[in-house]
Amino acid sequence: MNHIIVKRATHEHSAQTAVLVGELLQEIMDRIGIDVFHFDLQETKERLADFIVTEKNFVFIAVDNEEKEIIGFVTVYEGYALYAEGAFGTMAELYVQPSYRSQGIGNMLIQSVKDFGNERGWKRLEVTTPPLPQFDATLAFYEREGFEISGGRKLKAVI
């Protein structure tokens, strides 16, 4: 594990990280058996670079220094709400390549976000996982990382 580091991504990391975004979305669709995402690698790369530069998302990457490749990432954005007592973070995506799982890399990514949030004065960090049996292991992972169910379900309306 000494060869794995986590650092904040720059726009130069967007191409390699966008590939991992595609892997994450495909894994979710395979798990639920429904094509719910549209993924275009070039659009995602450009969007990710914009999000990083404009700080719409803060992105942390896990890098295998021996292989010189990004093997995981987490994206988080800042929000503000009265219920959250001000500023807070929401993790939008978290992914570690399957061959690197169960090695503490997800923990390293989340800890980097928590440290970043502390620096920004966040009171809390939120994440959503679908309330489906296919995501029970994901829920258990987040609970091991100190998250607790806070009620409700995430809903969307396409506009």
Give Cα 50 to chain centroid, integer Å.
Answer: 17
Q: What is the pTM of this model?
A: 0.93
**Model confidence at 1, in pLDDT bands (50, 70, 90)?**
low
CATH architecture of 4-144: 3-Layer(aba) Sandwich (3.40)
Contacts of residues 22-29 at CB distance under 8 Å and 24 or more positions apart, as own/partner, are 23/95, 23/97, 24/93, 24/95, 27/95
**Model confidence at 52, in pLDDT bands (50, 70, 90)?**
very high
Contact in structure between 45 and 97 (CB atoms under 8 Å): no
**Model confidence at 87, in pLDDT bands (50, 70, 90)?**
very high
Domain segments of the chain as ranges: 4-144
Return the minimum-mean-pLDDT range out of 22-26, 87-91, 146-150, 154-158: 154-158
Q: What does the chain come to in residues?
A: 159
